[in-house]
Structure 1
Amino acid sequence: MHTISNAVALYAVETNAYPNSVDDLVKKDSSGKAYLQSKTTLPDGAEYSINSEGVVSGVFNGVTYDSAANHRMTAAESS
C-alpha cells in the first residue's frame, strides 16, 4: 500500500490531480512513463481504491486498510 500511496503522491505532484484508480498509475502516459510497473491487488485479489483526496484503501478479511490512518478498522467499527 505504501508503494501505491507514493505513486499517487508523485502522480498528483506531476499532474496536479489525483488518479481515479490504480489503473491510472499503471497506464503509460504520452512519454511512456508509468507510476507503477504493474497493478497490485490485495491477497484475495481485490483491488485497492483511491479516493478523491488521494487516500489508498482496501478491504481484506473484513478489515479496511487505509494509507491515511495509522490503524486498521473492521467493518463493524466503520459503521
Structure 2
Amino acid sequence: MISHDLFLVFGIIIAGFAIPSMMGAFADRRPPRASAIAILVGGSMILIALSQKPGGYTLNDVPEAFIRVVAHFTR
C-alpha cells in the first residue's frame, strides 16, 4: 500500500519542482532538458502509482497519500 503512495507522492513532488525549472529555462531562452526529463520521470511515477493501485486514486485520496508517506517516514 505504501509503495503506491510513495510513487504517487514522489512523482507529484518531482513533477512539481520541474515546472519552475522549465519556466526558468524558457525565460533564459535555453532548452529545458533537465526539467523535461524530470517531468517525464515524475509523470511516469504517477502513472505507475495510478495503474498499480487497485481501484486507482481519486483527488480526495492524494492528500491522504501525502499524510501516509509523511507518517511512514516520521514513525
Structure number having the greater strand percentage? 1
Q: Which has the higher contact order (CA 8 A, sep 6+)?
A: 2
Choose 1 or 2 for highest CA Rg: 2
TM-score of the superposed pair, with normalisation by structure 2:
0.34
- TM-score, length of structure 1 as denominator length: 0.33
Hey, which of these two has a bigger chunk of helix by percent? Answer: 2
